[in-house]
């Protein structure tokens, strides 16, 4: 289950990055999953996503993806 969650989140990140237009904000909410992102696809993006886990708790991840790679931030 954990692997599928990580795989889904990685897929969402890749699709979101591919669809991004410079300066545009990706913002969607599926009820249990929400993702916001802005920047320039293929160059540098920053964003955050949150989801409700099976335990009912909400988890939030903030990140930057640029020429230094994908990094989690506070």
Name the domain count of the chain. 1
21-31: average pLDDT: 71
Asked if the model's pLDDT at residue 18 lies above 70, the reply is: no
pLDDT digits (tens, 9 = 90+) for 33-55: 999 988 887 789 999 999 999 99
Instruction: Sheet containing 44-52: give its strands across.
Output: 25-29, 33-40, 44-52, 58-66, 69-73
Q: Position of tokens 């289950």?
A: 1
Domain that residue 8 falls in: 2-73
């Amino acid at each position: 289950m954990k692997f599928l969650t990580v795989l889904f989140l990685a897929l969402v990140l890749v699709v979101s990055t591919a669809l991004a237009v410079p300066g545009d904000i990706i913002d969607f909410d599926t009820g249990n999953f929400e993702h916001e992102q802005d920047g320039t696809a293929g160059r540098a993006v920053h964003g955050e996503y949150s989801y409700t886990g099976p335990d009912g708790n909400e988890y939030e991840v903030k990140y930057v993806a640029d020429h230094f790679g994908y990094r989690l931030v506070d």
